[in-house]
Amino acid sequence: MHRHDSNTAILIFARNPEDEVRSKQWKERFNYKLASGLWQHARKVAAQSGLPVILHTTAHQEGPTFGLRLQRALQLAFDQGYENVIAIGSDCPQLKSHHLRKAAAMLEYHDVVGGPDFRGGVYLLGLS
């Protein structure tokens, strides 16, 4: 089935900078600058992709585990009528808008797209 980018949304699933600061053990001032910079980077890259952006911060996340919170956020995005959703966090400073556009293009032909990271996880997860 051929899908169009206009039916694809970017879901930024991340803590807001204030909540990120509370979750880390670094010096508060440094940590806030870092968390805020990463948050702004994720928002900028998502906006540069040209795709609709959905922000899903801590205040909106429901569920006792990361997996359940992410599942709920993805479902809410699909409930808005998007056929494809690409979830990203705010912890990948190497992420560029072309990565998001490439994932969107791959979702035209695949139901699942992942961008693997060096820790064994993913820096993006795209679903149809």
The CATH number of the domain holding residue 121 is 3.90.550.10
Q: Which residues of 89-104 are buried (b: 16+ CB within 10 A; e: fewer)?
A: bbbbeebebebbbbbb
pLDDT at 80: 94
Find the domain containing 68 and state its range. 5-127
pLDDT at 2 over 80: no
pTM here is 0.85
Contacts with 38 (C-beta within 8 Å, 6 or more apart), sequence order: 20, 90, 91, 93
Domain count of the chain? 1
pLDDT for 15-69, tens place per residue?
A: 777 766 666 665 666 677 887 888 899 999 999 999 999 998 777 778 888 889 9
pLDDT at 5: 45
Task: Determine the average pLDDT of the residues in 107-113.
Answer: 96
- Mean pLDDT for the chain overall: 86
